[in-house]
Amino acid sequence: NVKISRCLFFVSEILDKYNNTEKKLGRKKAELFNAKASDFANFNYSSEPIYVSVLTKKINEIVHNEKMRKLPARAISNWLVSKGFLTLYAKNDGSPSKKATSLGEDIGIKTIVKDGANGPYMINVYDINAQKFIIDNIEDICKSLQ
């Protein structure tokens, strides 16, 4: 039926206009993660060494909100590489990874070997001193995101 067909085309055009308007108005991009050391006055440091992902999760629980992006764990790791606390190396399969330097070990980062499903691998753990060091330098880490 021609009348029904025309009616459906008309409705389709209206919906397209509506969807395009919604896309233009859409959500604003979230701000970059930003924090100050003072935001963590009551931070619950772990007495046991933890992974950077656990530390990042604890940081995001305190500071993150819906208007701000979460702090990615790689931001901390990349900052530590740029400051000489971690170094890049190639794993057996050629992919890059990070391990603690002597400077990193001095602040409490330790590279340990763990057994996984695909064999042994190295991972960094952060003791309480390394956790405090990262929180003390959180503003500099945030600047590195820009």
The pLDDT tens digits of the residues spanning 97-107 come to 999 999 999 99
Percent of the chain with pLDDT over 90: 50
- pLDDT of 66 over the 80 cut: no
Is residue 139 within 8 Å of residue 65, measured between CB atoms? no
- What is the phi-psi region of residue 137: left when phi exceeds 0, alpha when psi lies from -120 to 50, beta otherwise? alpha
Tens of pLDDT, residue by residue over 105-118, are: 999 999 999 998 88
From CA 28, how far away is CA 91, in angstroms rounded?
Answer: 39
Using an 8 Å Cβ cutoff, are 43 and 135 in contact?
A: yes
pTM as predicted = 0.75
In the block, tokens 């753990």 appear at 125
The per-residue pLDDT for 48 is: 96
Contact 133, 107 (CB under 8 A): yes
C-alpha span between 146 and 135 (Å, rounded): 18
pLDDT, position 24: 52
pLDDT confidence of residue 29: 64
Q: How far apart are CA 4 and CA 131, in angstroms?
A: 67
Average pLDDT over residues 55-75: 88
Mean pLDDT, range 68-95, rounded to an integer = 90
8 A C-beta contact, residue 76 and residue 58: no
pLDDT at 36 over 80: yes
The pLDDT of residue 63 is above 70 = yes
